[in-house]
Amino acid sequence: MSARMIIAGVLLLGLATPAFAQADLQSRLAAYKQRVQLLEDQDAIENLQATYGYYFDKGLWGQAAALFTRTGSFEYGQRGVYIGPARIQKAMLLFGPEGLAAGYLNVHMMLQPYIVVAPDGKTATARWQGMMQLSRPGANGVWGVGITNADYVKEGTVWKIAKEHFYVTAQTDYDQGFTKSALPIEGPSALFPPDAPPTEQYRSFPGAYIPPFNFDHPVTGKPLKDIPEPVDTVTGRGVK
């Protein structure tokens, strides 16, 4: 059956359908269109974050920073918050020179994406988890794991990163491993001071901090922001 015959059949069906049924059909069609648009937005955001990951891992700081909004923020561990593409690009130089160089490794895998697009299709949130493989000349290699909470904004038809917060949850010396080594999180840089202090104070492994979830439980619908944390007498978290 040709496409013209199918279209003609749909038109005839519409003419033969009572007004109340046509209204229901239009309502269902609008709902389907919204669902398709939200799925396309979700796919675009996943591609955006993957693109950011490739640029960031290869030290293409300018390209990575250009994915942020004009007032977008970048926060890595306890280094503080950098705001705007220009400042974010400069902050990324703390991970190595532009394009990296011999002896540098800056791998941050982003797995287990959970993406939530707002019903209006203008904003979204996501959570990612993955491993790190870090190296620089004259230093031991580092294994690590971390979680990213991110916010996104749709500017016109293009999705951009509005907030990127990477929580370093564990780091260890490559040779010794987690049973023998636990590396602390780096604080704010004196060379490139942040625009704002860290939004959260926490300790990585052997601490047991769980970054707040930025989405509700998909079955119960309840938020998972206030999770009971083990007592930490250093940061005061969990201490009554």
Per-residue pLDDT band at 25 (split at 50, 70, 90): confident
Residue 184 has what DSSP assignment?
P
Fold (CATH) for 3-173: Nuclear Transport Factor 2; Chain: A, (3.10.450)
Cα–Cα distance for residue pair 62/42, rounded to 1 Å: 25
Give this prediction's pTM. Answer: 0.85
Mean pLDDT of 189-207: 94
**Nearest one of 43, 54, 41, 42 to 110, comparing CA atoms:** 54
Q: What pLDDT is stored for residue 24 in this prediction? A: 80
Cα–Cα distance for residue pair 51/5, rounded to 1 Å: 42
What is the domain partition of the chain in residue ranges? 3-173
Verify cis geometry, omega within 30 degrees of 0, for the bond prior to 206: yes
Q: What pLDDT is stored for residue 11 in this prediction? A: 47
Q: What pLDDT is stored for residue 238 in this prediction? A: 56
Q: Give me the chain's average pLDDT, please.
A: 89
What Cα–Cα distance (Å) separates residue 71 from each residue in 68, 83, 199? 8, 6, 16
